[in-house]
Amino acid sequence: MKKIGMVVALEKELTAFLKEQTVEIKEEKSGAFHVLEFKIGECDVVCVKSGVGEIFAAAATQYLISVYNPEAIINFGICGSLTKDLGVEKVALVKGVVHYAFDTSAVDNIEPGRYEQFDDPIIPCDEKLLAAARKISGGELPEVICASADKFVAESDEKRALRETYGASVCEMESAGVLLTCKNAGVPCLIVKAVSDGEGGAEDYVKLARRAAGQYAGLITKLLTDIPDMGI
């Protein structure tokens, strides 16, 4: 039986996934974290609702790793689009994340967004899990760079800068915390996002976030069902 961890920031993101399931769920509160345990196929799944932002996401991921020792971690949720090519409710696989607010360049001349232990600002997600998600989706989902930091990006100038500087197509507020924690612990990580806001910015988000959140549920469920057969 595989043990898979999940980190989800918002209640609406979690609800959108769980309403597609017919599983028995064990729930508990551990400090600030809401923890759910259930089975899908041959996977024991432990899901932690972290709350919004990089610090909460990193803390939840480390808690999941330290207490439950998962073989892989999946982060899913909603995001903003930085390009007209990704409309609202579009699902994307994240191939890499840049923590664009991280900047030590004044003291070490390392380019903004890059951590010293990595050769590039773009931190890659696990290729084996990405390949599994690609196969399940039939190769139809875009694979994108996600710009991540503790800020809701609404202004078009800032969106353009993230797109032009890092080649990012989506933005949100947790992926860097999740992925960096997984990298440091040697745990494979997959990130799946659904677009909740585009050119409409905050107005789109308020109206469409809950609807967008439901778009990835089928993919995540199929991935959990098929993971054991893929040798992951």
Q: 69: domain CATH number? A: 3.40.50.1580
24: in domain: yes
75: in domain: yes
Q: What pLDDT is attached to residue 10?
A: 82
Total tally of structural domains belonging to the chain? 1
Report how far residue 98's alpha carbon sits from residue 72's, in angstroms, rounded to the nearest whole number.
20
82: in domain: yes
Q: What pLDDT is attached to residue 139?
A: 87
Q: What pLDDT is attached to residue 214?
A: 60
Report how far residue 134's alpha carbon sits from residue 99's, in angstroms, rounded to the nearest whole number.
24
The token pair at 2 is 């595989």
The token pair at 228 is 């054991």
Q: What pLDDT is attached to residue 209?
A: 47
Tell me the residue range of the domain where 41 lies: 2-227
166: in domain: yes
Look-up of token digits 């290729």: 127
Range with the poorest average pLDDT among 1-5, 56-60, 215-219: 215-219
DSSP 131: H
CB 101 within 8 A of CB 177: no
Claim: this prediction has a pTM higher than 0.85: yes
State pLDDT tens for residues 177-190: 999 999 999 999 99
State pLDDT tens for residues 149-161: 999 888 889 999 9
pLDDT band at 169 (very low <50, low <70, confident <90, very high): very high
Q: What pLDDT is attached to residue 74?
A: 95
State pLDDT tens for residues 109-167: 999 999 999 999 999 999 999 999 999 888 889 999 999 999 988 888 999 999 999 99
State pLDDT tens for residues 36-81: 999 988 889 999 999 899 999 999 999 999 999 999 999 998 899 9
How many CA within 13 A on the CB side of residue 216? 33
**Higher pLDDT among residues 202 and 46, named by residue:** 46
CB 9 within 8 A of CB 16: no
232: in domain: no
Report how far residue 179's alpha carbon sits from residue 159's, in angstroms, rounded to the nearest whole number.
22
